[in-house]
Structure 1
Amino acid sequence: MTPPSAPLTLELIALPKEVPLLRRTVHDYLGGPCADVQLCVSEIVGNVIRHVGEGTPVVVRVSRRAGGRTRVEVTDSDARALPVLLRARGDDEYGRGLALLDAVSLRWGVRREEGRKTVWCDLGGA
């Protein structure tokens, strides 16, 4: 499978109904199974919906990196609402999203710039 040459860049409004379409678009862009990438995109956009607010404009970028790695980046307009890795207990309803991201990605982080933030993660690779 030849990696795409240009990154996938999507500008959208963070709404729950957009997440399934976003997962399908990522699958089509990568041209095959990509459950971990889809999970990370869903979790990061889900965090924007829950912690910044439904209807927040976001930019989602997915790109291939050296060594077959994939980078996911989600940028939103609130540099103050930073993600925090929690250790959810068995009966907690929330708090597992970043733990999943942490478990499936090679590394992840947050970049703040000019009133925005970008949550990113690197996945996979040879």
Structure 2
Amino acid sequence: MPGCRYGVARESWEVPFLAVPEEVGALRRILRLHLTHWGLPEVVESAELCVSELVANVITHVGEGVPTTFRLGIRDTCVRIEVGDPDARSLPAPVAAGIDAEHGRGLALLDAVADRWGVVLREDCKITWCELATGLGMPTGHTGGRRVDRGEVVIGHYKDTVNPEVVSPLLGVALAEEAAVDVIADLLHWIRAHGRDPDAVLERAQAHYETTLGGSG
């Protein structure tokens, strides 16, 4: 994948919460929003599963209602999820539990879903973390394959032509979005000037986008 000219800002995010089952749904929703905003919808399902299992592990083995922290960030090119709890005495471990086992299945599942996971012990807390591969080539890069790469080339060429004074090597996504709007508008003018129907073309483009969503070609 070529270098991403229009970097995606992915700032770490942390929130305290009480380890109760009712909080899991809210954490999953916030997680989904952040990952979608980061342009990483492909890892949402696995990330939601990981956070559910990490919180369930705290509830089961540390105690329901204990003060806990959830942190989401990017480490190198991986999504990193951390759940901190006040029990610094013990290390969790995956267990190959049977189907009727009440405990231990969560971290075994985490072991299967995450690319790697581990535990950091501190004086007053324990942080259990996991990482999920994203397919990014760099922390501020993009996914999406050749279609996104081609779109970035078009946007970059347009910006270089219309606003050549903008020379930043890493332009913001907001700036690129404005350029994309200008590109689409200019193309619609071109279509109208050549006797075609801009609305019909937009409908076809939207349908084509939806049918190829998730593809890399």
State the TM-score, normalizing by the size of structure 2: 0.54
- Report deviation, 1:90: 2.6
C-alpha distance in 1 between matches for 2:19 and 2:128: 14
Q: Comparing 24-33 with 71-80, which one deviates more in the overlay?
A: 24-33
Q: Secondary structure at the match of 1:93?
A: coil
AA aligned opposite 1:46: A
AA aligned opposite 2:67: P
Q: 1:114 aligns with which of 94, 109, 123?
A: 123
AA aligned opposite 1:47: N
Q: Comparing 58-67 with 16-25, which one deviates more in the overlay?
A: 58-67
Higher-Rg member (1/2):
2
Q: Secondary structure at the match of 1:61?
A: strand
Q: Comparing 3-12 with 110-119, which one deviates more in the overlay?
A: 3-12
Q: Deviations over 1:69-103 (max 9, x none)?
A: 10011111111142121111133233211111101
Match of 2:20 in 1: 15
- Report deviation, 1:3: 4.8
Q: Deviations over 1:11-33 (max 9, x none)?
A: 11111101011100100111135
Aligned residues: 124
Q: Secondary structure at the match of 1:62?
A: strand
Instruction: Tell me if structure 2 keeps the 8 A contact 1:51–1:81.
Output: no
- Bigger strand fraction: 1
RMSD: 1.5
What are structure 2's unaligned runs of at least 5 residues?
1-6, 136-217
Q: 2:56 aligns with which of 40, 43, 46?
A: 46
Regions of 4+ moved over 3 Å? none
AA aligned opposite 2:25: P
Q: Does 1:80 align with 2:89?
A: yes
Q: Secondary structure at the match of 1:115?
A: coil
C-alpha distance in 2 between matches for 1:109 and 1:118: 8
Q: 2:103 aligns with which of 77, 85, 94?
A: 94
C-alpha distance in 2 between matches for 1:17 and 1:11: 14
- Bigger helix fraction: 2
Percent of residue pairs identical: 45
What are structure 1's unaligned runs of at least 5 residues?
none
Instruction: Tell me if structure 1 keeps the 8 A contact 2:68–2:83.
Output: yes
Match of 1:29 in 2: 34
Q: Deviations over 1:18-56 (max 9, x none)?
A: 101110010011113501111111111111111111111
C-alpha distance in 2 between matches for 1:3 and 1:122: 19
